[in-house]
Amino acid sequence: MTDPQLAELQPQIDAWLADDPDEACRDDLRSLVEDAQTDDDPLHTREKALAELADRFSGTLQFGTAGLRGAMAAGPNRMNRAVVIRAAAGLASYLVDAVPADGRPPRVVVGYDARHNSHTFALDTAAVLTGAGIEALVLDHALPTPVLAFAVRHLDADAGVMVTASHNPPADNGYKVYLGGRVVTDAGQGAQIVPPYDGRIAERIAAVPSVASVSRPESGWTVLGPDVLASYVESVGELAVADAPRDLKVVVTPLHGVGGAVVEHVLRAAGYDDLFLVPEQAQPDPDFPTVAFPNPEEPGAIDLSLAYAQTLGADLVIANDPDADRCAVAVLDRRGAMGVPPTVDRDTAVADGWRMLHGDEVGALLGELVAAGAAATGAGGRLASSIVSSRLLGRIAEAHGLEHSATLTGFKWISRAEGLVFGYEEALGYCVDPRSVRDKDGISAALLLVQLADRLKAKGFTLVDALDDLARAHGLHLTDQLSVRFSDLSRIPETMATLRGAPPASLAGSAVVETVDLSAGVDGLPPTDGVRLLAEDGTRVVVRPSGTEPKVKCYLEVVVPVATDASADDLTTARRTARERLDAVRADMTAALGL
């Protein structure tokens, strides 16, 4: 960028400085402008500052179905108080018109995690809502996302706002919106927004003339007491079964997030006292000092947990992401310890026989548990999973006489399935109690997984043995993921275009018999950016850009038939076959994407 280009940006910068309510943000922006005007520049400070300014003012952080998410800094293309105030004003404007005039004002619950600025953003939201004549209810301290999602339904709120960036890096924050109450009255009541709601709210945000024009009183909202959290814990506790032995040693890590105390409360209330939080990660810390990325799926994220579990002789490791809407589980796979290849994908952690189960494996275990319960009571219902998740859940549903739906990715879609009793997506998200929480909930999922492992242990089995039984019943479904991160975002549509123009002719030697462009809308689903490949032997690949990160993801699945009376050796052979096939598919897709 040249000086004339900086001069071109200066009016936008000046306008921002005049309207930004945050002194720290204003000072940061002024400092960046000074760096951009530096003459003596041995460290390329000027060049970096100019590039940063260009990016911050390249557009506006877009509000969509995921709300807002981005790095925190001054400027319209970043997360900051000014952007949040505009978002809250747009949401308020939408709600005032969308909620029927029945004499009651719209009601909104606001929650927040322990990230930098989350509490400030939550209070700004409450002030804006109050100024618009909306009843704003703020959770009393930093709490998990599932508690906010629960509160929307529990308090019959018309909307909910959760300030969180979930498992993003420390520099990020985000803003998730739920609709319920009188705005959404169907199966999606209390779920995250989907079209056309996101577009309507975005239009109202764009119409906000300035931050200064938004009324923000200093009081008038209600800070909720401990009753909401107590009601949530009680609701989750109702999922516990009375006949579980309660003989399980469990290690829990919240990865420096807000889930630790709530998970501990839920598990202890259910009778699990042999419970240990990883000391270094037990307390909320917005800098996430012990992990490169605060995401249980990332390599190394649960290494401290595994080492702690090894020291304690634990049976199970539970890891939640920082806002506790996701849940990972690691088990001791003794076959790996005995020199037999464990049932492990490349993206799972292995240490001294421990391994983290893939999200599809956990989804199958929980799906079988819930489906068996629904079938036993005759309650019926529907299981749902995203189009990138394993097809095993559909087979489980069929075996129990239940319905199954494959939805677009994200719980905003999964939670809208009619008659839902269980839903999951492979990215460690599970909805085991949709009557209370219409979103993924890593806390209630943790309770069911602990109880399942507990009952299996009493019979001399583990979660791995339960997976073996599912393979005998439905075939061995093995999944993996090829994920490519891009620094140049323009390469993402180019990569997708390359795949659409020249898809692979075969996958692991099996001819591709179906190539589906998901952007056209298929199987009754709305259009989405993605491509699905199906090979003659049942191998499936779904390729799509990530909705929250600069990545293209390929979701790989192979299915190997297994006899109902297959021995342990037979299953080991099947896994080796499946792993080899997945490796070949990975290589084929790497070539097809031009990587």
Tokens of 448: 């069911």
Q: Which of 345, 293, 8 is CA-nearest to residue 167?
A: 293
Distance CA(531)–CA(497), nearest Å, equals: 10
Q: How far is 29 from 35, CA to CA, in rounded Å?
A: 10
CA neighbor of 47 nearest in space, from 30, 28, 32: 32
Both tokens of 143, joined, read 């709490």
- Cβ neighbour number for residue 7 with a 10 Å cutoff: 9
The DSSP secondary structure of 235-268, one letter per residue, reads HHHTT--TT------EEEE-TTSS-HHHHHHHHH
Q: In whole angstroms, give the CA distance from residue 528 to residue 288.
A: 33
User: Where do the H-state alpha helices sit in 428-503?
Assistant: 442-458, 463-474, 491-501
The answer to whether 309 touches 354, Cβ cutoff 8 Å, is yes
* Terminal alpha carbon distance of the chain: 30
User: Which residue in the list 31, 58, 118, 166 is annotated as catalytic?
Assistant: 166
**Tokens encoding 2:** 């040249």
> What does DSSP say about strands 250-253 and 316-320: parallel, antiparallel, or unpaired?
parallel
Cα separation, 409 vs 411, whole angstroms: 7
Distances (CA, A) of 90 to 106, 184, 382: 14, 18, 35
* Three-state secondary structure call for residue 61: coil
What's the CA gap between 5 and 153, in Å, rounded? 50
Measured distance CA(516)–CA(537) in Å, rounded? 17
Using DSSP, state whether 511 is helix, strand or coil. strand
Measured N-to-C along each axis, helices 23-36 and 45-56 cross at an angle, to the nearest 10 degrees, of 130
Q: Which two tokens stand for residue 575?
A: 């896994």
The Cβ of residue 62 has, within 10 Å, a number of other Cβ atoms equal to: 13
**DSSP 8-state symbol, 576:** H
Q: Are 344 and 333 in contact (CB under 8 A)?
A: yes
For residue 166, indicate whether it is catalytic.
yes
Q: How far apart are CA 190 and CA 162, in angstroms?
A: 12
The whole-angstrom separation of Cα 587 and Cα 595 is 10
How far apart (Å, rounded) are the C-alpha atoms in residues 350 and 334? 12
178 and 193 Cβ atoms separated by less than 8 Å: yes
Q: Torsion over CA of 19, 25, 31 and 34, rounded to 10 degrees?
A: -30
C-alpha span between 34 and 264 (Å, rounded): 49
Please give the radius of gyration of the chain, using alpha carbons only, rounded to the nearest integer.
25
Q: Mind telling me the catalytic residues?
A: 166
